[in-house]
């Protein structure tokens, strides 16, 4: 069974740091782009960052550039999101998602269950 | 303000057909495929439609997708109570070095 399990969320003060992890199983992790997508309480989905199979390419939404770093360890089938200089507006459930692909199409499937990050003093 | 525009709400009665629109631009929907996600209350999103009109295994054929120019649509026929959920469209955007964009989501209510 293809599965993604996030961990590492919690309560952090503004300006603080947190590292999220996503453990993948049931598929060849090193063959897929991976993404982080977040959802603020009561709000819609917002893509945060993604990373190529070998980690050589990374893309970020403008609001997290310079503060968040996406990385992966293919030997451990794991995806990470290092979040620094956290702000109240980063409060959200963070999902990791595998990027399926076919010819010129990509999509998110599956998604993990999410981990809640709360930035508050 | 989301890059892709969806109506915030939609509704229908059991058995009806409803459609949800998603409007974008030449840098996203106009040049890339569109995906749709269903998020049931309190759960993670789930892929519903990929590559404009393809259904993953297990998704009923009541759900269909289409795309024309810079707009896309999700249609749900034979509406059922379990279809009550939030629906999001998404596409890759080629501007600004590339990034994924989502619609703001449409809350579907089954009356």
Q: Give contacts of B35 with chain A, Cβ < 8 Å.
A: 107-108
Torsion angle (degrees, nearest 10) of CA A58, A44, A85, A6? -70
Work out the minimum CA distance from A29 to partner chain B, whole angstroms.
Answer: 19
What pLDDT was estimated at residue B23?
Answer: 97
Beta carbons of B100 and A50 less than 8 Å apart: yes
Neighbours of B101 (CB within 10 A): 23
Q: Could you say which architecture CATH assigns to the domain B9-110?
A: Sandwich (2.60)
Beta carbons of B35 and A108 less than 8 Å apart: yes
Work out the minimum CA distance from B14 to partner chain A, whole angstroms.
Answer: 26
Rg (CA), chain A: 14
pLDDT in tens, A2-55: 999 999 999 999 999 999 999 999 999 999 999 999 999 999 999 999 999 999
Domain boundaries, chain B: 9-110
What pLDDT was estimated at residue B20?
Answer: 98
State both tokens at A83: 């979040």
Cα dist from B29 to A64, A119, B65, B87, B103, whole Å: 24, 34, 13, 17, 11
* Banded pLDDT at A114 (limits 50, 70, 90): very high
Query: Read out DSSP for A16-68?
Result: --EEEEEEEESS-GGGSEEEEEEE-TTS-EEEEEEE-TTSS-EEE-GGGTTTE
Is pLDDT of B1 > 90? no
Nearest by CB to residue B51, choosing from A44, A61, A102, is: A102
Task: Yes or no: say if A91 and A117 are a contact pair by the CB < 8 Å rule.
Answer: yes
Q: Give contacts of A107 with chain B, Cβ < 8 Å.
A: 33, 35, 47, 50-51, 90
B88 touching A, CB under 8 A? yes
Runs of H (alpha helix) within chain B: none
Is pLDDT of B109 > 90? yes
Mean pLDDT of A65-78: 98
Work out the minimum CA distance from B74 to partner chain A, whole angstroms.
Answer: 16
């Amino acid at each position: 069974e293809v599965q993604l399990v996030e961990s590492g969320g919690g309560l952090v003060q503004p300006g603080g740091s947190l590292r999220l992890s996503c453990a993948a199983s049931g598929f060849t992790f090193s063959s897929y782009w991976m993404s982080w997508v977040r959802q603020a309480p009561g709000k819609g989905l917002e893509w945060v960052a993604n990373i190529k199979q070998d980690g050589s390419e990374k893309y970020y939404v403008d609001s997290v550039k310079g503060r968040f770093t996406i990385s992966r360890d293919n030997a451990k089938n794991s995806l990470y999101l290092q979040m620094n200089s956290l702000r109240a507006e980063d409060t959200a459930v963070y999902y990791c998602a595998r990027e399926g692909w076919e010819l010129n199409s990509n999509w998110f499937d599956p998604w993990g269950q999410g981990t809640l990050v709360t930035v508050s003093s | 303000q989301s890059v892709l525009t969806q109506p915030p709400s939609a509704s229908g009665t059991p058995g009806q057909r409803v459609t949800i629109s998603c409007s974008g631009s030449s840098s996203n929907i106009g040049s890339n495929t569109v995906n749709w996600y269903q998020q049931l209350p309190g759960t993670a999103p789930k892929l519903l439609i990929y590559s404009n009109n393809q259904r993953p295994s297990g998704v009923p054929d009541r759900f269909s997708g289409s795309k024309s120019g810079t707009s896309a649509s999700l249609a749900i026929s034979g509406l059922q109570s379990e279809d009550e959920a939030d629906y999001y469209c998404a596409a890759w955007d080629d501007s600004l070095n590339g990034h994924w964009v989502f619609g703001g989501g449409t809350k579907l209510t089954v009356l």
